[in-house]
């Protein structure tokens, strides 16, 4: 299975990839043109850090600046929403891990604000869809974007929540790389596979040179 791409990020000149469960790591690194992908310890919070300072840090958004080392960042997901945002103006990028807790805590805002820049484009990758994301009504009320009520449960559209947060931050050019991780076997899903579930490393590289 090849790495999934956003046509919008491709057209803006940003190397990136949303792997599936069958994507070999080599194929992902090849798509990124990078020898390694910087990651942080994800904790479903709203902290954003720079890739050059990420070692050992707890963070759910990682920013890579153009023209510096450690220029490729990734977030591990299996149902949570992977969000990749880039500035055409600076060549900087951010990878954001947005589960419902992170969305409520404001991780999208934290990531985009640390990214800065202008003329930003984004891609929202495969995640658990409103078809499958059943939560308690209390969680539905906190996240919003309830697609369907079902007794004391609610089905939430996390992708729509992320898109709304991006729009509120002035990121209007947003591409959807579609797929529901839970009911499509080509993806890893924590809800489906439990503690044995693998993770998919959604990643993006900053431009190699600063404008």
Q: Which residues bind Zn ion (CB under 5 A)?
A: 129, 131-132, 180, 182-183
Residue 97 near residue 42 (C-beta atoms within 8 A): yes
Q: How far is the CB of 137 from Zn ion (least distance, A)?
A: 20
* Residue 183 or 199 with smaller CB distance to Zn ion: 183
Q: How far is the CB of 181 from Zn ion (least distance, A)?
A: 8
DSSP 149-210: EETTEEEE-HHHHHHHHHHHTT--EEEE---BTTT-TTS--HHHHGGG---EEEEEE--SS-
Distance between CA 107 and CA 118 in Å, rounded?
19
Q: How far is the CB of 138 from Zn ion (least distance, A)?
A: 22
Q: How far is the CB of 159 from Zn ion (least distance, A)?
A: 11
Q: How far is the CB of 10 from Zn ion (least distance, A)?
A: 26
Distance between CA 22 and CA 61 in Å, rounded?
25
* Residue 7 or 131 with smaller CB distance to Zn ion: 131
Distance between CA 108 and CA 85 in Å, rounded?
10
Residue 87 near residue 114 (C-beta atoms within 8 A): no
* Residue 148 or 210 with smaller CB distance to Zn ion: 148
* Residue 159 or 182 with smaller CB distance to Zn ion: 182
* Residue 120 or 182 with smaller CB distance to Zn ion: 182
């Amino acid at each position: 299975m090849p790495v999934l791409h956003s046509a919008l990020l491709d057209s803006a000149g940003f190397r990136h990839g949303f792997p599936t469960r069958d994507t070999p790591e080599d194929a992902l690194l090849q798509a990124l043109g990078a020898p390694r992908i910087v990651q942080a310890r994800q904790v479903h919070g709203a902290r954003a850090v720079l890739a050059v300072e990420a070692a050992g840090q707890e963070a759910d958004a990682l920013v890579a600046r153009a023209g510096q080392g450690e220029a490729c960042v990734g977030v591990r997901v299996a149902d949570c929403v992977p969000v990749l945002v880039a500035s055409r103006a600076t060549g900087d990028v951010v990878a954001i891990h947005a589960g419902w807790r992170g969305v409520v805590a404001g991780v999208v805002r934290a990531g985009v604000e640390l990214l800065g820049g202008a003329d930003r484009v984004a891609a929202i990758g495969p995640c658990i869809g409103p078809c499958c994301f059943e939560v308690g009504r209390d969680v539905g009320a906190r996240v919003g974007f309830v697609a369907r009520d079902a007794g004391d449960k609610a089905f939430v559209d996390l992708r729509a929540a992320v898109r709304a947060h991006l729009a509120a931050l002035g990121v209007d050019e947003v591409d959807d790389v579609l797929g529901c991780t839970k009911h499509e076997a080509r993806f890893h899903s924590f809800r489906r596979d439990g503690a044995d579930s693998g993770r998919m490393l959604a990643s993006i590289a900053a431009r190699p040179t600063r404008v």
